Amino acid sequence: ETGVTQSPTHLIKTRGQQVTLRCSSQSGHNTVSWYQQALGQGPQFIFQYYREEENGRGNFPPRFSGLQFPNYSSELNVNALELDDSALYLCASRDQRGSTDTQYFGPGTRLTVL
């Protein structure tokens, strides 16, 4: 186990709705990244937070937003859901202590948009 948890496991929403996905990272890992993984594809980087500030963003529109909290938890918020947002959303806790730089993934949240 990676020590990274995500909730909920599965979620069904309709187009136009808003969704919040949650992640709990490993203690001591100050960086958390969120990825979108479409069926049969590799994870696509959405954004990354370091000590509660966004410090990197992939090619995703502003309706994808996030928060990171001091207790190593984080959220991914998606507004105005579209059918193409249906995917597995992965949270990754990043250990950058010392010379290490290793990501540990959670099990993901499967989002279906109808």
Partner 1 sequence: GENVEQHPSTLSVQEGDSAVIKCTYSDSASNYFPWYKQELGKGPQLIIDIRSNVGEKKDQRIAVTLNKTAKHFSLHITETQPEDSAVYFCAALGTGNQFYFGTGTSLTVIP
Q: Which is nearer to partner 1, 17 or 101 (CB)?
A: 101
Q: Are strands 19-24 and 102-105 parallel, antiparallel or unpaired?
A: unpaired
Q: Which is nearer to partner 1, 81 or 106 (CB)?
A: 106
90 strand-pairing partners: 35
Residues 58 and 46 sit within 8 Å (Cβ to Cβ): yes
Q: Which is nearer to partner 1, 42 or 70 (CB)?
A: 42
CB of 105 to partner 1, least distance (A): 4
Contacts with partner 1 by CB under 8 A lie at: 2, 4, 6, 33, 35, 40-45, 48, 55-56, 58, 90, 101-108
Residue 42 to residue 14: CA distance in whole angstroms: 25
